[in-house]
Structure 1
Amino acid sequence: MKEYYIILMLLVATDRCTCQDCECPLQQCPDGWTTFRGSCYYVSDNVSVDWTEAVHHCELHHGRLVTIETKEEDSFIRSHLERLYRQSNQHVGEEFWLGANDQMVEGVWTWYTNDQPLEYTGWYPGQPGSEGDEDCAVIASRPEAGGSQKFNGWHDAQCAAQHHPVCEISHDDSLPIVGRK
């Protein structure tokens, strides 16, 4: 009888993460996502899309395009990307979309989720540049000796360019179970 109650308690405790219409607490990131300080992150390296499609891609995964709000979070994202592509020729020199843009007012970079100006930035020296139509932010990789890559900072890029999304589910968001990937 004691085992029955323990199993029942476990089922009740996990039910909110297995039922059809519930939401999971953020302590449990979806498969393939990585956690850091209460948020979950997903690098979509198999998808190369323009910035608007990157936003939609993250929404399909029940997240949003990453908003990097602290130096620690920026360091984590860069380190995570470097670990993912340490011994790989994949994505050498490629860029990964961030959730910042200056589409509303040239030179005023905001997060697309709330139109608030960026308080923290991780721009590469000389960035954002002043070349033409570069209104969306990316984090860029550059090859290093030995074949590894260094994600050295943010750059502005044309929003129509094809890059890989980095998605985030923050502690303010909830994780719907249905359709999680």
Structure 2
Amino acid sequence: MPTDCTDIIIWLVSGRLAGKQDDSASFWLGASAAEVEGNWVWYTNNHMVDYSSFASVAESQTPEQDCLVLWGDFNMEWADYICGRETHPICEIEYVFFFD
């Protein structure tokens, strides 16, 4: 189970999307391993990703695959992906609570 807030959000989204999208849908998670291969960091704060759910065949050591996605071909498990390819975004917005 993840502990970092961003990791928890991605963990929850991964489970909710599994089996609900077409097989080719992929979603960018907002992390990259561009600096050091295999060391995933979030774009928003440069913190290390402390949870992963990589598909067993999806994490490669291919240098150009440095963006982290939920990959529809692997039932929404994580995969490294070529950053220049188009994927769907997962947007994070600030929660605002309104009192009645």
Q: TM-score, normalised by structure 1?
A: 0.44
Gaps of 5+ in 1: 1-66, 86-90, 144-149, 176-181
Matched, 1:92 2:23: yes
Partner AA of 2:13 in structure 1:
I
Secondary structure in 2 aligned to 1:142? helix
**1:63 is matched with which residue?**
none
**1:159 is matched with which residue?**
83
Larger fraction in helix: 1
Contact persistence 2:32–2:67 (CA under 8 A): yes
Secondary structure in 1 aligned to 2:91? strand
**2:16 is matched with which residue?**
80
**1:137 is matched with which residue?**
68
Larger fraction in strand: 1
Structure 1: how far apart are the matches of 2:28 and 2:49? 15
CA RMSD, Structure 1 to Structure 2 (Å): 2.5
Contact persistence 2:10–2:29 (CA under 8 A): no
**1:59 is matched with which residue?**
none
Matched, 1:112 2:43: yes
Identity %: 28
Structure 2: how far apart are the matches of 1:127 and 1:84? 20
Contact persistence 2:29–2:90 (CA under 8 A): yes
Deviations 1:116-168 (A, max 9, x none): 1111111112442112300100001138xxxxxx32x1000010001111112
Shift of 1:100: 0.9
Partner AA of 1:162 in structure 2:
E
Distance of aligned partners of 1:73 and 1:107 in 2 relative to their CA distance in 1, 3 Å threshold: closer
Q: TM-score, normalised by structure 2?
A: 0.73
Larger of the two Rg values belongs to structure: 1
Partner AA of 2:64 in structure 1:
D
Using CA pairs under 8 Å that are at least 6 residues apart, name the structure with larger relative contact order, 1 or 2.
1
Structure 2: how far apart are the matches of 1:141 and 1:104? 26
Matched, 1:69 2:14: no
